[in-house]
Copies of this chain bind each other. A is one copy, B any other.
Amino acid sequence: MSIQLWFLLLFFLLFHLLLHPCLPLSSAHPLDPLTAAEISTIRRVIQSSHLGASKSLAFHYVGLDEPDKTDVQAWAESATRGRRQRRRAFVVARSGGETHEIVVDVADASVVSDRVYRGSGYPIQTLDELEAAAALPLNYTPFVESARRRGVALSDVVCSPLTAGWFGEPGRGRRRLKLQCCVAGETANFYMRPMEGITVVVDLDEMRIIGYRDRVVVPVPKAEGTDYRAAKQRPPFALETKPGVVVQPAGKGFRIDGHVIRWSNWDFHLSYDARAGLVISLASVYDAQKGARRRVLYRGYVSEVFVPYMDPAEEWYFRTFFDAGEYGFGLWASPLEPMTDCPANAEFMDGYYATQDGEPVKLPNVFCVFERYSGDAAWRHTELGIPGQMIREVRPEVSLVVRMVGALGNYDYVTDWEFKTSGSIKVGVSLTGILEVKGTPYTHTDQITTDVHGSLLAENTIAVYHDHFVTYYLDLDIDGLNNTFIKSKLKTARVADGGDVPRRSYWTVTREVAKMEADARVEIGSVPAELLIVNPNKKTKMGNHVGYRLITNGAPAASLLSDDDYPQMRASYGKKQVWVTPYNKSEKWAAGLYVDNSRGDDNLAAWSLRNRAIENVDIVVWHTVGFHHIPYQEDFPLMPMLSSGFELRPSNFFEINPLIRLRPTKHTHLPNCTLIV
């Protein structure tokens, strides 16, 4: 090879590198979750820092340090696509009894900042410390004695870690946990066999039991009838149904490109976070009429799940869980089972989280994505009004579902994001799994004469009343960044007496623009109203502000706790189902960044008290889907799905029904199916 040729080759190589300065990152999206390799780098970087010397170094949260919204938006709009993306991680670690907030530059493998957090509250507990805490009673003499008193074999005992809450204790408090010990033995459903009457308090930093009381011995419910595993079931079996499978003769209609999913008129980014679980970003819808992709949701995820129980007994009063902030909704996500958790036509994605030691762990099948053919129509009409004609037009509905299941100990939360070709996003949350029950001497309701704070579901088994409040973070950017929240209130009006018509009343609509945060705290159902998020800078041709509206798909529920009660102070946003705040990068978690032992000083309601302007700025809508749960016997030993949710529906967003110009499905290509035996 000649020298000239060498130079030419070198020139081409340099040219290529200049054009694509970070070629290996070209497919990366700025919001992609941390990879296993990145998590390993972060661990190495922090362990090489001054913190590495600490024996107590523990990683409590490792996640993407979200780039600035303007940068992400610029990238998404291609202005900076191809340019090297900043790639930073946000790490919450504990060391020497202190909470560190560390920002790591992943590409540079360096610590950008390390700040000690001195406010109230503690980070998400690590799975490792929960596991260690749960094992403590088995070697704790007083507990061994308690087990003996109850005739329970230690080898059958399973203890569950319960966050202890905050009940007015002064100072910063210790990182405490309480344990609920149960008896497994013949059953996998140990939750149904509590060793009632015992309080075990664990100091998590010291990892030892610091409080213990065996207040009262209550019969442990029997194992019989509690197991839910197929292998343990005996006749009579439930009647079966015939199998049915969705087949897609022309293949799947969506494409997963890294973490970006493209399907029909929707584009969005799907990411895993140990705290939030499933995160949808940059969801935009293609408007065929305009020939343009239009922004809808910058970011949406479960921000908090507040689950207060309603029994004031010593062993129960503190059970007021914050599943995202105390446990990590994503950390407890369950690998989804193909064919059952998601249908045969689903695709799956994995997630990665960091252990207490900072090591990456793969969560296989943490999400599934599938097209749903519900058998419903998207729109239809039969017209018989034109003499001599019979017109019928029907367009079947197809949607795309993205699913994650957070299996937080006993409960399983199925969280769905369903994208519809109509432009709607339907968010579903379904509860299943196992109730928390309380041991009781009662074996029949006839024996009960006082308030037992729950339902007697089996002998010695009371399922305690409780709530679930799933709060969604919805950073809507309807057709652009600056949006306004509007309550369209329906009000009865009188027809003037003595007018031309005998009608006496009608309702009309009063639009109330929420100018300040105080205007946007809504208890749904208190007055008839529609709740809209509009872009006041964009109008349809007719002059209507483009927007979306929030529709609840279940009866709304709000917290019934007293305002002066500690769990209510911590979840003080729980009495309104809707809040709107101006976008603030630091306001991500409805109950605050540090929820364990929190006091409500850094939560949604606290931020909202500043009463900032929210008109025509970048706003975030917070919506809580609530369930008051009075248990019934069908919930034993494992409850059937109970569902609720909401819909974000285009409302003057499109000029017309976007599916009118959908060509009807042709049925000439039906599948011919045979059994594979």
Contact = CB atoms under 8 A, between A and B. Distances in A.
B673 A249 contact: yes
B525 A556 contact: yes
Contact of A242 (B371, B383, B423, B670): B371
B265 A641 contact: no
B652 A632 contact: yes
Pick the most buried of A264, A392, A451: most chain B CB atoms within 10 A of its CB: A392
A334 interface: yes
Contacts of A434: 381
Nearest to A225: B656
A675 B672 contact: yes
A635 to B, nearest CB: 7
A178 to B, nearest CB: 13
B456 A543 contact: yes
Given A242-B250, A247-B671, 12 more contacts: A167-B502, A168-B502, A228-B381, A236-B661, A243-B250, A247-B247, A340-B665, A374-B374, A377-B641, A379-B638, A528-B557, A640-B657
Interface in A541-559: 542-544, 549, 551-557
A392 to B, nearest CB: 6
A351 to B, nearest CB: 15
Q: Which range contains the number of A residues in contact with the other chain?
A: 35 or more
A440 B567 CA distance: 55
Given A246-B245, A389-B188, A414-B377, A555 B552 contact: yes
A491 B628 CA distance: 11
A673 B675 contact: no
A491 B184 CA distance: 35
Q: What is the total number of copies of this protein in its complex? A: 2
B432 A381 contact: yes
Interface string A386-405: 11010111111110010001
Interface string A514-526: 0000000000110
Nearest to A645: B553
A352 interface: no
A364 to B, nearest CB: 12
Interface in A302-332: 310-314, 317-318
Contact of A524 (B342, B492, B555, B650): B555
A500 B243 CA distance: 55
Contacts of A525: 525, 555-556
Contacts of A253: 241-242
B394 A340 contact: yes
